[in-house]
Amino acid sequence: MRGAANQANVPNNDGHEPAQPGAHGQDGPDPVQPQNQYGLQMLAEILRQNQVTNQTALQAIVANLGTHQESRPREDAPQVHRQFRDYHPSEFTGSGDPLAADHWLTEVEGIFAVMECTSVQKIRLASFLLKGEAGVWWRTVVQNYPAVLSGTWGQFKSRFNEHFFPERIKDQLEGQFAELKQGALTVAQYGAKFRELSRFTPGYTAMETNQVRKFVSGLRPSIKASIVNLGTRTLAEACEKAEVVEDCEKSVQAARSQSIASKNQGPPLKKQRTDGGSQSKTLCPLCGKFHSGQCWKTMNVCFNCGDQNHKQRDCPKKKRQ
């Protein structure tokens, strides 16, 4: 038996140990290794599933926390309200020009842009400024849809615009922009109206070149002719050049009016004191000379000495002189 064992451990002629039972070699593959691989695969799959589950749970927690913080009013609500009032926001009554609704909403959003407040606080602060007809509308909305108080700011804007600034009004403003001309407006007034209405045609005015072309085409012909070939590239540049041309036109018109008024008034009468200093002489519009009293030209006398018996050409004083 011992000899057989020793013989089993004797190296082969090639110098290698003989293959042990159960190892890779003559007796076939090792049955233990596939089991270890299967166990590792199962463990990796379990870990992967746990990781996905944990990530999903973490995302849900973060989402719920964000929703809770967004919907829950901050504890310093009175301080936020005082800060909001310090910006002197305008109240909105809901009456008048429909553009007033858009202006008010733009003003309020400008204040919110510099404040840190939730959507719920935005709704409460904005609704505090609704008075008159607008206040009645908001109370009706809250009565019929209580969930609006805990909604988003975007939902509030949609309801507000639907009632006070509907799409039909925007279509009308877009038509006004298409037909806008300077007419009797100043360049500054025309530019302000242009920028106000261009907001409702974002598809057309998205490019600066379209804005410049539309602005220049609406100017008065005299102003447009002066800047159409100047190669303006921006709307601000076009407005500036148009205002310069307008100022030049005003100066020329003022000088022309002053010149016409001066011609209608005639030459001014100048006064000249006599040698004695007791009487003054003025320029006579009839004879073109300085004298006092009635003009000799109306008395049919000699213009040189005042004698009625001869004319100026036959005046003896003139001959002696």
| DSSP per-residue string spanning 83-134 | HHHHT-PPPB-S-S-THHHHHHHHHHHHHHTTS---HHHHHHHHHHTB-HHH
Q: Domain count for the chain, please give it.
A: 2
Q: Average pLDDT in the 193-198 region? A: 90
Contact 80, 87 (CB under 8 A): no
Q: Do 151 and 192 share a structural domain? A: no
pLDDT-based confidence at residue 316 (cuts at 50, 70, 90)? confident
Q: Do 152 and 177 share a structural domain? A: no
Q: Cα(178)–Cα(73) distance, rounded to whole angstroms? A: 45
User: Domain span at residue 157?
Assistant: 77-165
Question: What integer best gives the mean pLDDT of the chain?
Answer: 76
Contact 128, 102 (CB under 8 A): no
Which of 151, 101, 82, 143 shows the shortest CA–CA distance to 123? Answer: 151
Q: Average pLDDT in the 198-203 region? A: 82
Residue 294 has pLDDT above 80, yes or no: no
End position of a domain, from candidates 202, 227, 255: 255
Q: Do 161 and 102 share a structural domain? A: yes
Lowest mean pLDDT among 57-71, 217-231, 288-302: 57-71
Contact 96, 104 (CB under 8 A): no
Residue 69 has pLDDT above 50, yes or no: no
Considering the chain, what percentage of its residues have pLDDT values greater than 90? 27
- Could you tell me if residue 221 is inside a domain? yes
Q: Cα(256)–Cα(51) distance, rounded to whole angstroms? A: 87
Residue 284 has pLDDT above 90, yes or no: no
Contact 176, 190 (CB under 8 A): no
- Could you tell me if residue 125 is inside a domain? yes
Q: Which are the contacts of 246, defined by CB distance < 8 A and separation ≥ 6? A: 186, 187, 223
Q: Cα(73)–Cα(276) distance, rounded to whole angstroms? A: 98
Q: Do 133 and 108 share a structural domain? A: yes
Q: Average pLDDT in the 257-278 region? A: 59
> Residue 273: what are its φ and ψ, rounded to 5°?
-75, 145
Residue 17 has pLDDT above 80, yes or no: no
Residue 125 has pLDDT above 90, yes or no: yes
pLDDT at 252: 85
- Could you tell me if residue 188 is inside a domain? yes
Q: Cα(152)–Cα(121) distance, rounded to whole angstroms? A: 10
pLDDT at 315: 77
Lowest mean pLDDT among 82-91, 171-180, 200-209: 200-209
pLDDT at 153: 94
Q: Do 245 and 181 share a structural domain? A: yes
Q: Cα(215)–Cα(201) distance, rounded to whole angstroms? A: 14
Q: Cα(285)–Cα(127) distance, rounded to whole angstroms? A: 77
Residue 43 has pLDDT above 50, yes or no: yes
Q: Do 223 and 187 share a structural domain? A: yes
Q: Average pLDDT in the 40-69 region? A: 61
- Could you tell me if residue 124 is inside a domain? yes
Residue 104 has pLDDT above 90, yes or no: yes
Residue spans of alpha helices (H) in 113-234: 119-128, 132-144, 153-164, 167-178, 187-198, 202-205, 208-217, 221-227
- Could you tell me if residue 251 is inside a domain? yes
Residue 80 has pLDDT above 70, yes or no: yes
pLDDT at 88: 93
Q: Average pLDDT in the 61-80 region? A: 55
- Could you tell me if residue 296 is inside a domain? no
* pLDDT greater at residue 124 or residue 276: 124
Lowest mean pLDDT among 31-35, 44-48, 66-70, 252-256: 66-70
- Could you tell me if residue 4 is inside a domain? no
Q: Do 135 and 90 share a structural domain? A: yes
pTM beyond 0.75: the answer is: no
pLDDT-based confidence at residue 79 (cuts at 50, 70, 90)? confident
pLDDT at 299: 64
Which of 93, 90, 91, 89 shows the shortest CA–CA distance to 132? Answer: 93
Q: Cα(26)–Cα(19) distance, rounded to whole angstroms? A: 7
- Could you tell me if residue 306 is inside a domain? no
Residue 199 has pLDDT above 80, yes or no: yes
pLDDT at 269: 52
End position of a domain, from candidates 116, 137, 165: 165
Compute and round to an integer the Cα radius of gyration of the chain: 50
Considering the chain, what percentage of its residues have pLDDT values greater than 70? 65
Q: Do 104 and 159 share a structural domain? A: yes
Q: Average pLDDT in the 5-13 region? A: 45
End position of a domain, from candidates 165, 180, 210: 165
Q: Cα(149)–Cα(139) distance, rounded to whole angstroms? A: 11
Residue 321 has pLDDT above 50, yes or no: yes
Query: Is residue 120 classed exposed, middle or buried when 0-12, 13-18 and 19+ CB atoms within 10 A define those classes?
Result: buried
